[in-house]
Amino acid sequence: MSLANTPSPAGAGESGAGYVPEPDEVLDLTGLRCPEPLMLIRRKMREMSPGGILKALADDPASVRDVHNLCRHLGYRLLSSTPDIPYEFVLEKPLPGAAANGQEEGSP
């Protein structure tokens, strides 16, 4: 499912409030410790089609910082995150040319 043609509703985003689309893939990363959750999220996002939605569940406190940084550096859109364990992150893979930082994944 993609949000490419859907306006972002008020309240959606990192706060966890508002509309969050159903994920295309779900990764249960509970029990894994840094850097494994981040590596597996990145691998799965690379496999997904542009516009794909991934839900990741993790219980490593470092995942909160790591997922936010991953999204910022690789241009993934963090649609929601939860503050309680297990942490739940919903990410969207950008459409080509739509990376948040102006770079496609894999570029320097």
**Given 34, 40, 78, 100, the catalytic residue:** 34
Q: Are 73 and 79 in contact (CB under 8 A)?
A: no
Domain map of the chain by residue range? 25-92
Per-residue model confidence (pLDDT) at position 2? 33
Per-residue model confidence (pLDDT) at position 43? 97
Distance CA 80, CA 100 (A): 16
Series of mean pLDDT values for 10-residue runs along the chain (108 residues): 34 54 96 96 97 98 96 96 96 80 44
Architecture of domain 25-92 in this structure = 2-Layer Sandwich (3.30)
Per-residue model confidence (pLDDT) at position 17? 54
How wide is the angle at C-alpha 10 spanned by C-alphas 6 and 13, nearest 5°?
80
34 is a catalytic site residue: yes
Per-residue model confidence (pLDDT) at position 33? 97
